[in-house]
Structure 1
Amino acid sequence: MQLLALDNETLGWGATPVLSGVSLTVDQGERIALLGPSGVGKSTLLNAMRLRMTDRRVALVPQENGLVAQLSVFHNVWMGRLDDFGTARNMRTLLWPVGRERAEVDADLARTGLNGLGRRRVSTLSGGQKQRVALSRALLRGGDVVIADEPVSAVDPAQSRELLSQIEASFATSILALHDVQLALDHATRIIGLGRGGIVLDAPSADLTIPDLMGLYA
């Protein structure tokens, strides 16, 4: 099943083009990694893909995490479910979360290595912990697809692999901007490389090697 299609499109922010001539489709079940140097347009492409999937339940992990620093880890993770409920229910959860809600969040915090941190204020966490809170929020939300912008850039290689395994186990389809070419080869079924204002590589990961991908950064 096709989830989205872009046909010779120019993508950017406001009136400023970033990528041109972009044509691609995404099918259900694909694990896609976007690669390329900083500023090449990975976030722009992820945003365009998100906007084309308004009819799908999409979990997001934005590059800057999208957390509210003054609130607890629990409340930030629960934000992944806010649009499932009305205002009254969400206000009650903000003020008096019940045990079942805490247990749901705690289960996903355990999957990202944040056991016991549900009551901690996000402002007290390290960068890597904040990144894992954002991923926990996506796991709690669930859905047809996860779109994540550098979701493991602030954690060590072993944690990165474990977190990507959690994504793979939770979402049939994933579209991730990654910074590590080996992680991309290990996790993705398809790799899209960006450069020179457009897509310069789009191939199954099984057909690619590290030298192939390092050329994106030359």
Structure 2
Amino acid sequence: MTPLALTDAEAAYGETRVLGPLSLALAPGERIALVGKSGAGKSTLLALMYEQWQQREVALMPQALGLVDTLSVFHNVYMGRLDRHPWWRNLITLMRPRRSDIADIEALLEGLDIADKCWIPCGELSGGQRQRVAAARVLYQRGQVLLADEPVSALDGPQAASVMQALADGYPTAVLAMHDLDLALRYCTRVIGIQAGEIAIDQPSQRLSVHDLQPLY
């Protein structure tokens, strides 16, 4: 995989610029945490990355999750690979899933401690359970790069750590907007702090502490 980059990227709402211009590069094997207070521009920056990089096998885990409430957990996870199969196979899977697909997805759900919800409609799940389903979907997708917007915001300490570890194992190259600074420093190799739409901090995580990042808030 070649490095991914943004050059002089910017975004505006109407005539009000809310992000940039800024430039950055993402190297293979690098995991970037985007940190900063709400409204700083983290989600906007992720959206720009997805817009420019989506042809490079980028998997997206949006903050809104994008789950279909009427479909089972299994089928929501299966949607991660819809574009890899012909329409007729996807239609058959909706009615009668293959044993191999069930086994693969159940293994992912087991690792995220949600296998018992496999055939339950997503609309019946709690916020934390839904977030784990969305994580399972991007893991099942197996893209080259993960872009995730607050991937563990609805999870407690042990569950959040478990999902972060699964995402780290599945996607060595990633950009994650994070609200939990401890998790950001623990699971990412580089931290970019966004403040008022600009890059205020860009350092290897091992050089930073939570105290160093507090001025962003």
Equivalent residue for 1:55? 55
How far 1:197 moved relative to its partner?
Answer: 2.2
In the alignment, which residue of structure 1 is the partner of 2:149?
149
Which whole-Å deviations, capped at 9, do the CAs of 1:56-102 have from their partners, x for residues lacking one? 21222110110000111011000001000111111111121121111
Structure 1 match to 2:192 = 192
Provide the secondary structure at the position in 2 that maps to 1:161: helix
Displacement of 1:53 after TM fit? Answer: 1.6
Alignment correspondent of 2:212: 212
Q: What residue is the counterpart of 2:161 in the other structure?
A: 161
The alpha-carbon deviation at position 186 of structure 1 amounts to 0.6
Is the contact made by 1:6 and 1:25 (CA closer than 8 Å) also made in structure 2?
yes
The secondary structure found in structure 2 opposite 1:139 is: helix
Q: AA paired with 2:143?
A: G
Letter in 2 for 1:107: A
The match for 1:108 is 108
> Identity of counterpart residues, as a percentage?
46
User: How far is 1:55 from its partner?
Assistant: 3.1
Q: TM-score, normalised by structure 2?
A: 0.95
Deviation at 1:54, TM superposition (A): 2.9
Structure 2 spans left out of the alignment, 5+ residues: none
CA distance in 1, matches of 2:12, 2:181: 25
Q: Are 2:35 and 2:191, in contact at CA under 8 Å, matched by a contact in 1?
A: yes
Question: How many angstroms apart in 2 are the aligned matches of 1:100 and 1:170?
Answer: 20
Change (3 A) 1:171 1:165: same
**What TM-score do you get using the length of structure 1 for normalisation?**
0.95
* Cα contact 2:57–2:144 (8 A) shared by 1: yes
In the alignment, what sits opposite 2:40?
A: 40
Which position in structure 2 is the counterpart of 1:140? 140
Distance 1:141 1:91 in 2: 18
Q: Would the aligned equivalents of 1:71 and 1:121 in 2 still touch at CA under 8 Å?
A: yes
Q: 8 Å contact 2:41–2:196 — kept in the other structure? A: no
Pairwise CA distance, 1:17: 2.9
Partner of 2:87: 87
| CA distance 1:165–1:18, shift in 2 (3 Å) | same
* Cα RMSD for the two superposed structures: 1.4
Counterparts of 1:123 and 1:159, CA distance in 2:
20
In the alignment, the residues of structure 1 paired with residue 86 and residue 16 of structure 2 have an alpha-carbon distance, to the nearest angstrom, of 37
